[in-house]
Amino acid sequence: MTVHNSEIADSFEKLADLLEIEGANQFRVRAYRNAASTIRGYPRSMADLLEDGEDLSELPGIGNDLAQKIGTIVETGELPLLKEVEERTPEALSELMMIEGLGARKVKALHDALNVNSLADLERAAASGEIRRVSGFGEKSEKKILARLQKYSGEEKRTRLIDAEEIGRPLIEHLEKADGIKDIVITGSYRRRKETVGDLDILVTAKQGSSVMDHFTSYNEVDEIASRGKTRSTVFLQSGMQVDLRVVPQVSFGAAQIYFTGSKSHNIALRKLGIRKGFKVNEYGVFKGDKRVCGKTEESVYAKLGLAWIPPELREDHGELEAAKKDKLPRLITLNDIRGNLHAHTSASDGHNSLKEMAEAARDLGYDYLAITDHSQRLTVANGLDKKRLLAQVREIDRLNQKLDGIVLLKSSEVDILEDGSLDLPDSVLRELDFTVCAIHHRFGLSRKKQTERILRAMDNINFNILAHPSGRLINKRPPYETDMEKILEAARERGCIVELNAQPQRLDLTDEGCRMARELGVKISIATDAHSISDMDHMRFGVDQARRGWLEKSDVVNCQPLDKLAKLFTR
């Protein structure tokens, strides 16, 4: 039984919550939270690191004590200190902290005064009017608790980036109409192009005394105004999305962009660096004593700290500060670098458009080539093509290529990887194709070992070229199937296979961390839309965003290559 990083991180976070409720040293509490964040974001599993004999105390925020505790969790699946703390402090109290407005102190106060130990206790106490009598609470906070409880579902809700764009776009249009507004930018994880966002953080500059806040809170989608000040307001939209608006003066715009773009750990690292250099860094600028020395642009702030400007996608405190210091940041791939698309479906299987329509759409995007990768025979629900139909399609593509101008269709197939690791079409047929895209579409529930072996065995086939959507996850819907991704990537490099970064906004698979690992291992990536219609081809930009988060450069991505270089990449 493998212990996942997320489980270790969860244990540390829960321990931090309970210790905080008990009133433990706040820096000790923070140490557990920092460690949780390091572990959660780490590209390799703690279990694997330990197996390889690595020293975990080398990791940021993890010292000897926590390294030992991680070892215990990996070995036994349990954290004794957490058990011990849970004996004295009910573990459900940590869940109460999920209610907005309730932090450790208030949870403790309610526990001590009213013996509130669960969400149900909390609701009872609020409904019966007992909470307002506890010192530090009043009628308003009691009402808020009751209202929040009704909305609380127990799940942390994060919105897919594409959905966040749909919510954000009309709101920005609304804000642009405000009097006196100058700059508007959506910051936060949205600007870092994370696959999901928790809330929208909007930053604006505006003329002094303008009515931007009034304009913001009067947006017709606003369901609730949670707070409202001169420089900051928070609302909830009818979609449930939380939106924060901050207004700063123009001289602070760069510093504020950095601050609100985050990530939080990136900001903390920047501020610490500032302190070492004798500066104070905040959202208004970089200060020497009381004097602002810069802040108008992001570049000026980074430069003052001795750093090159860092693209938002890299701001996770995953080594970007060190790279920026040495001027060794990657030259991140851009959408303009993309020359073609290596995964697309037509109406022959489960797509919605014809070969010709798809080809013309790809040409309109400025691509040189588009690969047609309809499903293979096993995937009957998607009308997968058997040998006969695929060979007919191959001939049709040949004919069409004669007529097409400015775009070349590549002959391919999204071939099912069967449970035993064999491919769903005979080698004699696969050899007729320019290359193959291979994927798992069934039997997701195999053990980690079996699933990994299944993929490795499939890659042993000389006709295997690209591993499509390697984890099979659907964001917010289906977890990845269990695999040893590092092993798969190493095997891909050894065999000359390519791994896909599927650009569908609900997939984005490889993950950012997976991309980074692939790059470090020297595995080439195909960023592909898996388009099932003409309009899906626009999703390439989400794939590029994710690739940038994974530190990928143009040279790491096969579909940045011109057509005449592709064939070589598909020769094993």
Tell me which residues touch DNA (CB under 7 A): 25, 27-28, 30-32, 34-35, 57, 59-67, 81, 97, 99-107, 132, 135-142, 144, 188, 199, 201, 227-233, 242, 244, 264, 267-268, 271-272, 274-276, 278, 280-284
CB of 77 to DNA, least distance (A): 20
Give 116 or 492: the residue with its C-beta nearer to DNA: 116
Helix axes 264-276, 253-261, angle to 10 degrees: 130
How many angstroms separate the CA atoms of 346 and 367, rounded? 17
Taking phi first (over 0 means left), then psi (-120 to 50 degrees means alpha), and beta for anything else, what does residue 61 get? left
Residue 28: which of 78, 69, 74, 75 has the closest Cα? 69
Task: Tell me the one-letter amino acid at 113.
Answer: A
CB of 331 to DNA, least distance (A): 25
Q: Tell me the DSSP string of 319-365.
A: SHHHHHHTT----B--GGG--EES-B--TTTT-SS-HHHHHHHHHHT
The distance between the two most distant Cα atoms of the chain, rounded to a whole number of Å, is 82
CB of 435 to DNA, least distance (A): 45
Q: What is the DSSP letter of 3?
A: P
Give 47 or 203: the residue with its C-beta nearer to DNA: 203
Neighbours of 232 (CB within 10 A): 13
Rg (CA), the chain: 26
User: At a CB cut-off of 8 Å and minimum separation 6, what does 281 contact?
Assistant: 255, 270, 271, 274, 287, 301, 305
Give 287 or 309: the residue with its C-beta nearer to DNA: 287
Torsion sign over Cα 247, 200, 335, 351: negative
How many angstroms separate the CA atoms of 330 and 449, rounded? 34
Give 126 or 528: the residue with its C-beta nearer to DNA: 126
Which pair of structure tokens corresponds to residue 431? 């050899």
User: At a CB cut-off of 8 Å and minimum separation 6, what does 129 contact?
Assistant: 142
CB of 468 to DNA, least distance (A): 36
CB of 395 to DNA, least distance (A): 57
CB of 362 to DNA, least distance (A): 40
Bridge-based pairing of strands 280-282 and 242-248 is unpaired
Give 104 or 492: the residue with its C-beta nearer to DNA: 104
CB of 330 to DNA, least distance (A): 22
Give 136 or 479: the residue with its C-beta nearer to DNA: 136
Angle at CA of residue 527, ends 524 and 530, nearest 5°: 135
Give 233 or 377: the residue with its C-beta nearer to DNA: 233
Give 212 or 429: the residue with its C-beta nearer to DNA: 212
CB of 393 to DNA, least distance (A): 51
Give 13 or 199: the residue with its C-beta nearer to DNA: 199
CB of 280 to DNA, least distance (A): 5
Helix axes 26-40, 5-22, angle to 10 degrees: 170
Give 188 or 351: the residue with its C-beta nearer to DNA: 188
Three-state SS string over 223-286 comes to EEEEEECCCEEEEEECCCCEEEEEEECHHHHHHHHHHHHCCHHHHHHHHHHHHHCCCEEECCEE
CB of 241 to DNA, least distance (A): 12
Helix, strand or coil, per DSSP, at residue 203 = strand
Give 113 or 569: the residue with its C-beta nearer to DNA: 113
CB of 105 to DNA, least distance (A): 3
Give 220 or 227: the residue with its C-beta nearer to DNA: 227
Q: What is the DSSP letter of 460?
A: H
CB of 234 to DNA, least distance (A): 7
- In the block, which residue shows the tokens 């794939």? 543
Residue 546: which of 557, 555, 537 has the closest Cα? 557
